[in-house]
Structure formats: structure tokens, C-alpha cells
Structure 1
Amino acid sequence: MENNTYPYVNLPLPYELNALEPYIDTKTMEIHYGRQLPAYINTLNALLKDFPELQSLTLEELIAISEDLYQDGLQVPVQNFAGGVYNHRFYFNGMAPPTNLSPRGILFEMVESQYGNYNSFKEVFKFEGMKVFGSGYVWLVYDNGILRIITTPNQNNPIAKGFCPIFALDVWEHAYFLKHYNLRANYIEDWFRVINWEQATKNYLECVNQQKDIEMQKRSKKKLQSKKL
């Protein structure tokens, strides 16, 4: 993800605002991407302006340390606004113009293997999405070799809990109310039609590689400790 440190800007979408029609409507995209995301970006920049020690951190690093910032009164603001920028970017980049092609690839194969089939996966994901009370997100994450479907409230992010995100569904009402009104279930069904499986697979492979790097670092650390003993 480019522009991953302060000051943040609103990056271009990988598709036109009307490209997700008829599943995600143009007007929602104009407001969601064109107005709401910039508001998060502007607030995050203003928040970090007086904290140069935080300006060199990436969004992921800010999110990862957010729970340690309570003494400075920054814990919730960083969760809300660093999370808000990351989550929106991740959500928007996780979609693509609809096609008639069926999902495929190593991630899709793992989804089917772990959940039995794609329809079962969709049912579980939708069930979790319907359970979110108020505002939040549904995530597919990688966790030590397995996939998990988790939810987070508001703009909280799974990185803070040690999970690696693969794709995300925004279930704040502003993400779907203009087209789907209060029918979140219909929105979720439509969102399945615009998942960017190519990008999700790249995210998955990055998660796998990150986990391998962590395991290698752990093994190297153990070897060094054993030599000292």
C-alpha cells in the first residue's frame, strides 16, 4: 500500500467510481470514497501533526501499538482514525468490477477446503456480518496456517490482535444504505459479486510469507539463546 506514512492522502481507486455497478452504486462510492475517507485522512493527519515520533510509523504499526498509547490519550483516536484510513483503503482495494468468472486460486482452494465449499463459507461470513451490532467490519484473516472469519467494531482492526487481514467487508450503514436501505443481507450478497479474489490471494500469500518470516526469526533467536547457554 503506497502512502503508508504521514502525511496521508486519498489514493486513487483501482477502478472507476461506477465500476462496481449494479452491486455497489456510484453515489455511495462518491460519498464513501470521495468524502468520508478523506475526512478520516484529514483527521489522522491533524492528530499526528504534534507527535513526530508517530509520523514515521506505518498505518499497520500505528494500529499495532494503538493499545499502548492510552497514557497519551491517543489509544482511541489512533484506533478510530488510523484504523479508519487503513480499513477503508483495504475495503475499497478488496473489490473489483464484476465479471462472469468464478473465483479460483490457492486462497479460494483453501476456503473451500476449510469450509467444505464456497456456499458454506458465504453463509458463515454472512452470518457474522449480520451479527455486527451497529457499525463495524467483517474480516477474513490468516492466523498461523488457518483462515478465520472475525468481526471488529467501529474502525478497530485485526492487526491489533495479531491477525493478518485478507479481505474486509464494511458493514457501517453508510456503505450500503443509499442502495440497500436497511437490508444488510442484500448488501452482503451483492458484495460477494465484487470481491477482488486476485488481490485477496496476494494478501493471503503475503500473510503466509510474514508468518514464515516470524517463525524463522523465532528459530534464529532460539539458536542464539541455546549457543549462549
Structure 2
Amino acid sequence: MGYELPPLPYAYDALEPHVSKSTLEFHHDKHHAAYVSKYNEMIQGTEFESKPIEEVIKAIAGNPDKQGMFNNGAQAWNHTFYWNSMKPNGGGTPTGDLASKIDADFGGFDKFAEAFKSAGATQFGSGWAWLVLDNGTLKVTKTANADNPLTQGQVPLFTMDVWEHAYYLDYQNSRPNYMDAFLKNVVNWDFAAQNMAAA
């Protein structure tokens, strides 16, 4: 059964100029595909083969004997979540319940944006910045490498990839410019709102 590499939810050039076609081709077709392929190889013939990937990630998190399986499985899941966290003509500010919740839990959108960009900027090396629901409260978190909020009992609403391959072709070493462009132009607030409503 395994986990299938999902297609991007938009055309490769749909996020230009903020995320280039070249970046998405490399990132989705090479990096993401490799994680999916390795994960499927590792679960073949094991008890995890027929289980949903989220269940496997939670079950093996922190198990040193399953670190390789976790890394590839979590990265496969994280990337799928990341593609959905972006959309053409996205960005700006959220509306409705999500906007009200951000105001209530962060003290306004600007304070949320500051916290989110700080999480991305201070994630040393490779990792992710997240907006999560944690026991009913919105929080900004960051995780290193393949780690994700599912293993902490949190509900991820959206994520920003801060591995260098996510932005280097477009922004070189300027992670702050990539993070600005992500929030202003591509973040998918509808996806975040759906995840919050489903929680």
C-alpha cells in the first residue's frame, strides 16, 4: 500500500515569482519524491505497511531504531502539508474565525507574523516553522529536520519549509526575504482555517 507522492495542488509556475517553477520542480519531483520512495521501501513487509502515514509517524517518533523510517515518513508528510500551505494569490491576512483567533491568542496579526518569522529565522539549520493549535490555543512552533507537531499532540494548521532547498534557487542565503514573500504572497489561509475548523 505505502504512501503515494501526491501531485502539487497547482501548476509548477503558479507561485511565481515568489516560488519559482525550478524550485518546485526540484523540491517536489526530486526531494519530496525521494522521501516518499525511501519511506515506502522501509515500511515494505512491516507492520506499518498498511497504516496511515500519520499513525506511523506518531508510533515511531523518538524510537532510535526507527529513526530512518521516521525521517523519511515525516518528511514525506511535512512536504505534502507544505504544498497545501501555499496557493497562488495567497498571503495577506486571514479572515473569519481564524483571524479572530489569531487576534485573541497573539494580540493581533502583526504579532503573529513577527513570532512566525522569528521561528523561521531562529531555526538553526534545516527545519520548519508552524502555526499549530495546542490544547485549543494557537501557537507558533519550530521543528528541526523531519520533526513535526503531530508527535507533540498538536494540530498543525500550516507550515513553512526553512530547509535551504526550499528557497535557495530564488533567494540564495536570504531566508528572511523568502519568509516575507511566503506570508505576503503565498500562504494559504483557507487551508489553515479548514484545519482549525476540523480540529
TM-score normalised by structure 1 residue count? 0.82
Once the two structures are superposed, the pairs formed by residues 125-204 of structure 1 within 5 Å of their partners are: 125-192=116-183, 193-204=185-196
Greater displacement, 180-189 / 104-113: 104-113
Determine which structure has more spread, i.e. the larger CA radius of gyration: 1
Quote how far apart the aligned CAs of 1:102 are.
4.6
- Cα distance, 1:50 vs structure 2: 2.9
Which structure features the higher share of helix residues?
Answer: 1
The Cα offsets for residues 19-65 of structure 1, whole Å up to 9 and x where unpaired, read as 111111111011001111110011001001131x1112111111111
Percent identity for Structure 1 against Structure 2: 36
Distance (whole Å) between structure 2 residues aligned to residue 100 and residue 201 of structure 1: 13
Is 1:14 the equivalent of 2:14? no
* 2:72 equivalent in structure 1: 81
CA distance in 1, matches of 2:69, 2:149: 14
- The match for 2:31 is 36
Aligned to 1:54, the other structure's residue is in SS state coil
> What secondary structure does 1:55 align onto?
coil
For 2:60 and 2:127, locate their aligned partners in 1 and report how far apart those are by CA, in whole Å.
18
Whole-angstrom distance in 2 between the partners of 1:100 and 1:136: 21
- Equivalenced residues, count: 198
Unmatched runs of 5 consecutive residues or more in structure 2: none
Aligned AA (1:66): I
Name the residue aligned to 2:109: 118
Higher RCO structure, 1 or 2 (CA under 8 Å, sep 6+): 2
TM-fit CA distance, 1:99: 5.1
Could you tell me how far apart the structure 1 residues matched to 2:62 and 2:125 are? 26
TM-score normalised according to structure 2 size: 0.94
Deviation larger for 151-160 or 113-122? 113-122
